[in-house]
Amino acid sequence: MVLSIISGIYALVIGIGILGLWTMLLLTKQVPELETEPVALAFHLTAEIIMGILSLVSGIFLLIGISWAPYFFILAMGLVIYAVINAAGYYGQKKQWAFAIMFGIILIASVSLVILNGF
């Protein structure tokens, strides 16, 4: 029960965070790839939006106690794990180490929760 609550809140925070981040970046025109790599960005953004929505939905499912919610959570976290590894590389390449470390922490938390929810 406690694991479902922690995982549910975590998934909601991740979902809100990623959707909020992309909304802010796009509205403030802080995405140079819109001009330089529009097709790649469209695919990347689609994957990130799907990840955010699945994270939100899995968090809600966990918090309301749907029996198969942990499996949905594991799927959402699989997307998160891929995304944070990719993002850490992106920011590491730019030598923005604070972001790379933040994504490393999210990676550790996500992997830990996936393992705990798998048992």
Tell me the average pLDDT across 58-79. 96
Q: What is the pLDDT of residue 119?
A: 74
Percent helix / strand / coil, the chain, rounded to 5: 85, 0, 15
% residues pLDDT > 90 (the chain): 97
**What's the chain's average pLDDT?**
96
Number of domains in the chain: 1
Closest by CA position to 71, among listed 35, 23, 119, 27: 119
Quickly state the pLDDT bin for 6 (edges 50, 70, 90). Answer: very high
List the domain range (segments joined by +) for residue 55: 2-117
**pTM for the model:** 0.92
